[in-house]
Amino acid sequence: MLTCLRVRGRLGAYLDGALEGAQAEVAARHLGGCARCRREADGLRRTRALLQRSLSPTASAPEPDWTGFWPGIVRGIEGARREAPVATARIWLRPRWVFGGALMAAFLVSMTLWQTTQAPPAFDGPVIVRAANTDHPQASVMVYQTPDRDMTVVWVFGLDD
């Protein structure tokens, strides 16, 4: 049994003639007495012969048959044309898509109307602008104030550091 495992592991090398000396003699002696290993060796020989015949330069591969190629492509394109209107019609029959699209359109229209109807805040009265000096030599302060509203804006310029 152990000899069978060793010979089967070296069987490819033995058939290729790569084993030397005692290893080749042991494999030959075992193949002479073991029918199971001999069947495996015969199978490997037949496989090698088939491979050599298929890879030989005299063996020619049959030419491919392209007669059905273009008609098959045309059939596929025509079939897609016939199925395309049905597929788009099914999308519009889905209530979720229709409801979602209508809801999104209503939202966009309402946001557009809301933005265009809002007027920017207008000041009726004049804006008083005052400048003030600071202790910092590069800084200046501007004060914007409206008399009718309680709003004052103070800007400080020149204090980048």
Q: What is the mean pLDDT of residues 128-132?
A: 70
Positive or negative: CA dihedral 43, 44, 46, 51: positive
> Does pLDDT of 110 surpass 70?
yes
> Does pLDDT of 88 surpass 90?
no
Q: pLDDT for 2-41, tens place per residue?
A: 678 888 888 888 888 888 888 888 888 988 998 998 999 9
pLDDT of 124 reads 62
Each domain of the chain, given as residue ranges in start order, spans 2-55, 128-157
Q: Which amino acid type is present at position 92? A: W
d(CA 7, CA 1): 10
Residue 39 φ then ψ, to 5°? -60, -40
Q: pLDDT for 47-85, tens place per residue?
A: 888 888 777 766 666 777 778 888 888 888 888 777 655
| Bigger pLDDT: 50 vs 147 | 50
